[in-house]
Amino acid sequence: MSGVFRAGNTAESATTRAAATLLDMTTTDTHCPYCSLQCGMRLRTADTGAAPVEVLERPEFPVNLGALCGKGRTAAAVLRPAVRLTEPLVRDVRGGELRPASWDEALDRTVAGMSAARERYGRDAVGVFGGGGLTNEKAYLLGKFARVALRTASVDYNGRFCMSSAAAAHRRAFGIDRGLPFPMADISRTGCVILVGSNPAETMPPALRYFRELRENGGRLIVVDPRRTRTAELADLHLQPLPGGDLALALGLLHLVVADGHLDEDFIARRTTGFEAARAAAMAHWPERVERLTGVPAATLAAAVEMFTSAPEGMVLTARGPEQHSKGTDTVGAWINLCLATGRAGRPLSGYGCLTGQGNGQGGREHGQKADQLPGYRSIEDPAARAHVAAVWGVDPACLPGPGRSAYELLDALGRADGVRALLVMGSNPVVSAPRAAHVTERLRALDFLVVADPVLSETARLADVVLPSAQWAEETGTLTNLEGRVLLRRRAVDAPPGVRDDLAVLSGLAGRLGVPKGFPADPEEVFEELRRASAGGPADYAGISYARIGAEDGVFWPCPDEAHPGTPRMFLDRFATPDGRARFAAVSHRPAAEEPDAEFPLFLTTGRVVGQYQSGAQTRRVEELNRAAPGPFVELHPALAGRLGVAEGQLLAVSSRRGRAVAPARVTDAIRPDTVFMPFHWGGEGRANSVTNPALDPVSGMPEFKVCAVRVERAAAEADR
Amino acid sequence: MRAARTPSGGAVAVVGAGMAAARFAERFHALGGRGEVTLYGAEPAAPYNRVLLADVLTGRYGAESLTLPYGTAVARTGREVTAVDPGARVLRLADGTSAAYDALLLATGAEPVLPPVRGLYGPDGSPREGVHVFRTLGDCRRLAAAAAAAERAVVIGGGVLGVSAARALAVPGRGPGGLPVEIVHQAPHLAERHLDAQAAALLRHGLAALGVAVSAGSRARALRGTGRVTGVELASGRVLDADLVVLACGVRPRTGLARAAGLPVRTGIVVDDTLACAPGVYAVGDCAEHRGTAYGTALAAWDQADVLAARLSGAAPGAVYSGSRPLARLTAGPLEYAAFGETGGEGPGLDVLRLADATRGAYRKLVLRGDRLVGGILLGDPAAACALSRAYERDDPLPVDPLSLLITRGASR
């Protein structure tokens, strides 16, 4: 199959291919392996289909128009055999070394480990932990593998740590969860954007063009962030709230919308429900109270409302900043309220959107690797959804397990009496990325059996009994759904090194060994065809999308219920996806973070990202150029705080919480609040930010509180300085 | 410290349906408290945000949009409680009925202090026509109606309430507005509990620009007029013409019920760190006195309501209230100040830093003890108030060069 998609479908790329062929080279149009923007890129390879691979621009792809960030440009470096796994590894005894093994041995050992746990402790003692970077096909087949081959309820994925709060709020307000209800390009044409807890200058640099264009077109940009980030520096107005203050901030803005007569009464009456209760909640958040709760001056709140409401159209976009909290779902709900109350939703160039993080953060949450969900964004508790999916899978609906634990709860219960005893991790590195990571590491060690499928020997893979070397983005074909809800096709450009297998083939091999030989094809397009049927009629309906259409149309926006349907770039223009077609206000109130600073731990810690690294760094930390730009963790702090602590730039700081300690050099800047320190979380080891973070969960989404906890900061021991 | 008496499904009766009561009810529900909560309010309105009343007068808020959430509680409004019997756990209502409860929360708030001025009442003992207090939504409605027909107003009292009311009456807005107004204030300068003379002078200057005159150091002696008020006679003998008089001389905790029930009362109803004043009886908000302080501010009331809701809902049975560090805040259109702590700055070991800009009506004064901020006045530049009042509230150590605080723009730009 892959050969068909080796080259692009556009005229330009055909020309390029012709030119390249003269040099015994071939090009393949595909997408970046990193974030949810899924920039189009073109890979040039030797005609033999082998490495080396060169990353080229692909200017005609609409989302990034050729632009790539440093991560994208250097993506091919991770394909080098030297930095990755090229053969399965097994560990013969606990505490022993990993040694090379054959695929047969590795898969047999995996099945033996899973079967032993199942026999001894029951089906739910075998678990699966997926990732938001997996293709739709892998995410789908992984969920099916859990429900049909393992018949376990214990399946979830690291997307819980990503945008699950926005997803929950989206469904509550609009009846459906698609990150952006409009294409990215609409951002440059709206009147005002409030960007909440998002730093695209570092996390998705090619997206920055839309915010720049917005301002060039006369629009205004408001950035909400406890740090004056490179993105905030572009803003017309920067609101710098305390970590954990975003919910109160949104309520305070809604309060001023009411006070200053900016309600869109007509929109509220025609297209929404629940306004009275939401307004009452906002009335409890008057400006002086919100100032006290958020640290944002009342006058700045008023300026933001004036700026937002004086533009004819407006958008609110959130990212992990407001979402990764134990109140993340309510926080996003409050920002959606602001859009609904001002009529900035359900019409062109206006609306709420979530800037999803992981490469397939959107698609990965739609097709069944979530504990409570079946393909097509169906609920696993809905009898009709169970019947539909069971019919596609050819099983009895009664055989499908019910909802399982959310990601952190699943990890927290590993090795415990009622927890998972044998775990398959695919495309995730929780040793670095999970909250309270030292504890999670301990739980992983407490497993009877751990198998990790990953292209590289990640920190999590190092703990495994069996490590399965996975193929990567340029070596396999599959679809991803970007932050816009645009379904895209990554195309295979090169062969994986010998000894490496595609995850679909791994699942196929495991299912066969578990006695379920049918229903687990290794061919991605075959899996996608089944996914189309399984998603048909669901909220995330892919029924009308095919590989051929994606190639011909630069992606297709779901929902797309049939092949004649054009796809849906802009949602909600006529109605919202709720039963009555109206968007629902959320009656939410401020509440404190799960852990607020006190005498013992007097400062806030917030965590985030830097431009040179991606997520847990499993890929990017293997690229020399990126490591030069972003060599390691650091602790960002205000000069006033540094002065009090008597610490200078570069000196080692210990950041401690009730859960653990991280050590990293100081980076002194007045871009951060004096009551807050910041650490990027891309690294393991001593500088692991997630040693410190709080696993308090959002009651609706299961999102941990990565973005705020209480810490003490002090000079690391003198010997560490030497 | 007394163990919390958790209703565990029992009925909680709340006397009062104001801000503290609503906040308690909302948090109790949000924290998963079981047991029915009933708010008994003497006012006819459902719980509303009293803090915003001055801007109802200006027309900024519609009265209906002031409504506050109160969870799943039942609000019995227009039902005045006339007696409570903590021994029998029964309360009696003005309509002669009674209701039993398991836990009692007194959130009776505060009532206006009436100044010792002759002629407040007509010959028949009813309040004289044209004389208003400004505490409830009903007061606000009556005042707005009266202001629409009035020619000249006098506000007796120049604290936060008096200044807000005067500004609301003077400023033409969506509301009645546009009246000539004069504030009569007994102390030598406005808002003397929060401001020093220099700050008060700037505030007075700002009021003058809005058409509000100020007679400071003046005591109102009597109201003039037979029937409707026609003027205010000062102790100096001077008479100010007025057909509308607003009494804004502060409030006092409303403690009558508690006193009659034999509960401990000093200035307010005396509560301990669990907000209890007797077994199974609690008090929060303006009516309560904690460690000798009756705060009388909405934010302190909510701090207390939050702690009690955490205790009684079972979410945090061990939660205690250790006091608030209140911030005095005036927000009256362009006139704004924040003041906190020891604003006088007199005393051993205190350092005072000061910055004044008379042209722009801005004034900053910070009072330091060692490396801690112990008081401050920030007038006309509220953005700075935010970061500084937070440092005061959290008792944060200050930067090595405290002078930089005088020019800080606060955390946001």
Least CA distance to A228: which residue of chain B?
B412
- Average pLDDT (A409-432) is 97
Domains parsed from chain A with CATH numbers: 2-83 (2.20.25), 89-150+377-557 (3.40.50.740), 164-354 (3.40.228.10), 603-721 (2.40.40.20)
CATH superfamily, domain B336-407, is: FAD/NAD-linked reductase, C-terminal dimerisation domain (3.30.390.30)
CA distances from A165 to A325, A331, A386, A398, B353 (A): 8, 9, 24, 30, 46
User: Is A259 within 8 Å of B55 when comparing Cβ atoms?
Assistant: yes
Tell me the DSSP string of B253-281: E--HHHHHTT--BSSSEEE-TTSEEETTE
Asked if A240 and B411 come within 8 Å (Cβ–Cβ), the reply is yes
Binning pLDDT at 50, 70 and 90, where does residue A25 land?
confident
Query: What does the CA dihedral A572, A573, A579, A584 come to, rounded to 10 degrees?
Result: 70
The reply to whether residue B327 touches residue A292, judged by beta carbons under 8 angstroms, is: yes
Do residues B21 and B47 make contact, with C-beta atoms less than 8 angstroms apart?
yes
Average pLDDT over residues A226-242: 97
* CA A695, A698, A702, A707 torsion-angle sign: negative
pLDDT at residue number B17: 97
In the predicted model, what is the mean pLDDT of residues B320-348? 88
pLDDT, residue A3, reads 34
Are B298 and A289 in contact (CB < 8 Å)? yes
B386 at A interface, C-beta within 8 A: yes
- Looking at the complex, does the CB of residue B347 fall below 8 Å from at least one CB of chain A? no
Strands A556-557 and A486-490: antiparallel
Q: Which two tokens stand for residue B150?
A: 């009035």
Nearest CA in chain A to B334: A299
Least confident of A675-684, B94-103, B355-364: B355-364
Instruction: Give the pLDDT confidence score for residue B160 in this predicted structure.
Output: 94
- Structure confidence at residue B240 (pLDDT): 97
User: Looking at the predicted structure, is the pLDDT value of residue A385 above 50?
Assistant: yes
- The yes-or-no verdict on residue B7 having pLDDT over 60 is no
Query: Which run of H or of E encompasses A251?
Result: helix A246-259
Read off the pLDDT of residues B399-408 as tens digits, 9 standing for 90 and up. Answer: 767 787 777 6
Question: What average pLDDT does the segment B29-48 reach?
Answer: 95
Asked if residues B139 and B133 have their Cβ atoms less than 8 Å apart, the reply is: yes
Query: Which class for A141: exposed (0-12), middle (13-18), buried (19 or more C-beta within 10 A)?
Result: buried
Q: Find the mean pLDDT for residues B353-364.
A: 89
Q: What is the DSSP string of B126-153?
A: SBPTTEEE-SSHHHHHHHHHHHHH-S-E
Q: How many residues does chain A have?
A: 722
The answer to whether the B12-111+251-313 and B336-407 domains have the same CATH topology is no
Alpha helices per DSSP H over B40-193: 53-57, 137-149, 160-170
Given pLDDT bands bounded at 50, 70 and 90, which one contains residue B175? low
What rounded mean pLDDT belongs to chain A?
94
Nearest to A277 among B60, B69, B299 (CB): B69
Q: Which of B24, B412, B413 would you mutate first to test chain A, the one with the most A CBs within 10 A?
A: B412
Q: Please check whether residue A296 touches B, CB under 8 A.
A: yes
Residues B153 and B184: their CA atoms lie apart, in Å, by: 11
**Statement: residue A490 has pLDDT above 60:** yes
Nearest to A295 by CA among A248, A233, A336, A334: A248
CATH class of B12-111+251-313: alpha beta
Point out the residue among B55, B65, B394 whose CB comes nearest to the CB of A279: B65
Higher pLDDT pick, A93 / A524? A524
Lowest mean pLDDT among A176-190, A530-544, B317-331: B317-331
> How would you write B345-364 as a 3-class SS string?
CCCCCEEEEEEEECCCCEEE
In tens, the pLDDT along A453-462 reads: 999 999 999 9
Which residues numbered 223-242 in B keep a CB inside 8 Å of some CB on A? none
When pLDDT is cut at 50, 70 and 90, the band that residue A13 belongs to is: very low
**Can you give the pLDDT at residue B408?**
64
Q: Are strands A556-557 and A449-454 parallel, antiparallel or unpaired?
A: unpaired
Chain B residues with CB under 8 Å of A597 CB are 394
- Looking at residue A267, its amino acid is F
DSSP A644-689: HHT--TT-EEEEE-SS-EEEEEEEE-TTB-TTEEEEE----GGG-G
**Stronger pLDDT, A533 or A163, i.e. the higher one:** A533
> How many other CB atoms sit within 10 Å of the CB of residue B95?
10
- Put simply, the chain B residues between 6 and 45 with a CB less than 8 A from any chain A CB are 22-23, 26, 30
- What is the C-alpha separation between A584 and A340, in angstroms, rounded? 9
The pLDDT > 70 percentage for chain A reads: 95
Q: Which CATH class is domain B131-247?
A: alpha beta
Domain chopping of chain B, boundaries: 12-111+251-313, 131-247, 336-407
A506 closest CA partner among A428, A415, A449, A427 = A427
Count contacts between A and B (CB, < 8 Å). 94
Question: Where do we find the tokens 């390879």?
Answer: A45
Give me the pLDDT at residue A537, please: 96
Task: Report whether B341 contacts B367 (CB < 8 A).
Answer: yes
User: Amino acid identity, residue B327?
Assistant: L
Can you tell me the ipTM of this complex?
Answer: 0.92
Which tokens is A710 given? 């209480």
pLDDT above 90 covers a percentage of chain A that reads: 92
Query: Span A643-652, mean pLDDT?
Result: 93
Residues in A touching B329 (Cβ below 8 Å): 288
Q: What whole-number distance in Å separates Cα of residue A134 and Cα of residue B354?
A: 60
B388 contact residues in A (CB cutoff 8 A): none
A238·B49 Cβ contact <8 A: no
pLDDT value at A6 more than 50: no
pLDDT, position B344:
84
| Phi, psi (deg, nearest 5) at residue B342 | -85, 90
Q: Is A216 on the interface with B (CB under 8 A)?
A: no
Which pLDDT score is estimated for A4?
35
Rounded to the nearest angstrom, the minimum Cα separation between A296 and chain B is 6
CA dihedral B367, B371, B372, B378 (to 10 degrees): 40
Instruction: For chain B, give the percent of residues with pLDDT over 90.
Output: 76
Whether residue A675 and residue B68 make contact (CB cut-off 8 A), yes or no, is: no
Q: Do A292 and B389 touch (CB under 8 A)?
A: yes
